[in-house]
Copies of this chain bind each other. A is one copy, B any other.
């Protein structure tokens, strides 16, 4: 993409309405624009990040055996009356009357609807287990929406729902999601730590929040320092294993607790050796048994003809929230530092002398080659000063900056900068391209 033709409205000044760094940077880097309180439009650069995050979430859900569906945003009130949540949900639920005065709502979550869909088709224990997920916009009418997409009203969530015949099946479904979540966050360059969670509004027994560490996190967390050494992508564990107990046990044996659940003296090391940090919740998984299947009358016929209510769990990832959370975890004074897997473009190509025949020619050539190699590149082909181009590229945080200037070209080199470390090296064009392809 050529920046001169790209709709990328960056801001020079810090927007005053933004209280936290991710919100400030998302506005300044032209990722989103607020359209109502707590409701955002995703501009082209932000949209690309959102899609990359969504795709990583999708790939791990698919790999785990979950199947993607798509439920509508608008739900009938009746389903929520059956579960009893229509009244208890309070003002966070956006309630709507359609033209025929029927009570509808904008779904804040989908336990009732997926249970209703599932039970209408699945009648036999032979059709279990199943895990269905969707990635869809939700609405929670927060009284004071704030922190940008971190606590917005309209937000994109991945929610999965598992259906099993018995507790053992439900536990395995839960454990698969536990693994999927660890892998998902790790692929985004995040250190996410599972922490025991309360049942909350939805209820449940097996319940973990996934918390990433960020200095600016919303709540205090306490964890064993060894957490920092663990990498789920190094684990030789597969979604097809019949038995995930050892894996989950290992990954929950180190102490980790949110402020709410922290109990001094309960860690397996002295409290003063615990890492105390700030955390941001980016996912929540829980088992809730027959909490919804019973009121919605969702059962299958078992091997002996008996009625068995479905054992269920639900598993959420805040997809749009992750855009903010990743920035909270990965930025510096100059702007965003995107992990490569979610970066909107891998490479920012900077032409230091736009309009000069030699730099233009080299840049066009590099731009063509990167596109041919399917390496996402944003080419700053504007007639702006070097300073504006450098600062802009730092702000939007692309992982690699390839700088082409007349002085370098005299020596047949270009400069490759790694945004994360600031490290720069002079390379031949071919070496730079080879490095970016690696």
Contact of A69 with B98 at beta-carbon distance under 8 Å, contacts A9-B122, A74-B139, A139-B74 already known:
no
Determine the chain B residues whose CB is within 8 A of the CB of A50 once the complex forms: 70
**How many copies of this chain sit in the oligomeric assembly?**
2
Question: Taking the complex as formed, is A132 at the interface, i.e. its CB lies under 8 A from any CB of chain B?
Answer: yes
Q: Provide the bound-state CA to CA distance between A238 and B121, in Å.
A: 48
Question: Taking the complex as formed, is A408 at the interface, i.e. its CB lies under 8 A from any CB of chain B?
Answer: no
Contact of A99 with B9 at beta-carbon distance under 8 Å, contacts A35-B71, A71-B35, A73-B154 already known:
no
A46 CB to closest chain B CB (Å) equals 8
Q: Give a binary string over A76-99; 1 marks a CB under 8 Å from any B CB, 0 the rest.
A: 100000000000000110101011
Q: Provide the bound-state CA to CA distance between A408 and B42, in Å.
A: 55
Determine the chain B residues whose CB is within 8 A of the CB of A104 once the complex forms: 36
Determine the chain B residues whose CB is within 8 A of the CB of A16 once the complex forms: none
Question: Taking the complex as formed, is A7 at the interface, i.e. its CB lies under 8 A from any CB of chain B?
Answer: yes
Determine the chain B residues whose CB is within 8 A of the CB of A72 once the complex forms: 35-36, 39-41, 137, 154
Q: Provide the bound-state CA to CA distance between A228 and B30, in Å.
A: 46
Determine the chain B residues whose CB is within 8 A of the CB of A42 once the complex forms: 69-71
Q: Provide the bound-state CA to CA distance between A7 and B131, in Å.
A: 9
Q: Of B41, B73, B113, B117, which one neighbours A69 at CB under 8 angstroms?
A: B41
Contact status A41-B70, CB under 8 Å:
yes
Contact status A39-B74, CB under 8 Å:
yes
Question: Taking the complex as formed, is A106 at the interface, i.e. its CB lies under 8 A from any CB of chain B?
Answer: yes
A59 CB to closest chain B CB (Å) equals 14
Determine the chain B residues whose CB is within 8 A of the CB of A96 once the complex forms: 94, 96, 106
Contact status A36-B76, CB under 8 Å:
yes
Count of chain A residues near B, Cβ 8 A: 50
Question: Taking the complex as formed, is A392 at the interface, i.e. its CB lies under 8 A from any CB of chain B?
Answer: no
Contact status A36-B75, CB under 8 Å:
yes
Q: Provide the bound-state CA to CA distance between A7 and B122, in Å.
A: 9
Determine the chain B residues whose CB is within 8 A of the CB of A47 once the complex forms: 68-70
Determine the chain B residues whose CB is within 8 A of the CB of A275 once the complex forms: none
Question: Taking the complex as formed, is A6 at the interface, i.e. its CB lies under 8 A from any CB of chain B?
Answer: yes
Q: Provide the bound-state CA to CA distance between A154 and B76, in Å.
A: 13
Question: Taking the complex as formed, is A120 at the interface, i.e. its CB lies under 8 A from any CB of chain B?
Answer: yes
Q: Provide the bound-state CA to CA distance between A132 and B33, in Å.
A: 14
Contact status B65-A5, CB under 8 Å:
yes
Determine the chain B residues whose CB is within 8 A of the CB of A432 once the complex forms: none
Question: Taking the complex as formed, is A130 at the interface, i.e. its CB lies under 8 A from any CB of chain B?
Answer: yes
Contact of A7 with B76 at beta-carbon distance under 8 Å, contacts A41-B117, A117-B41 already known:
no
9 A-B pairs besides A35-B117, A36-B76, A44-B67 with CB distance below 8 A are: A7-B122, A35-B76, A41-B70, A42-B71, A43-B69, A50-B70, A74-B139, A94-B96, A137-B137
Instruction: Give the 4 A-B residue pairs with the shortest CB-CB distance, closest first.
Output: A9-B121, A42-B70, A91-B99, A41-B71
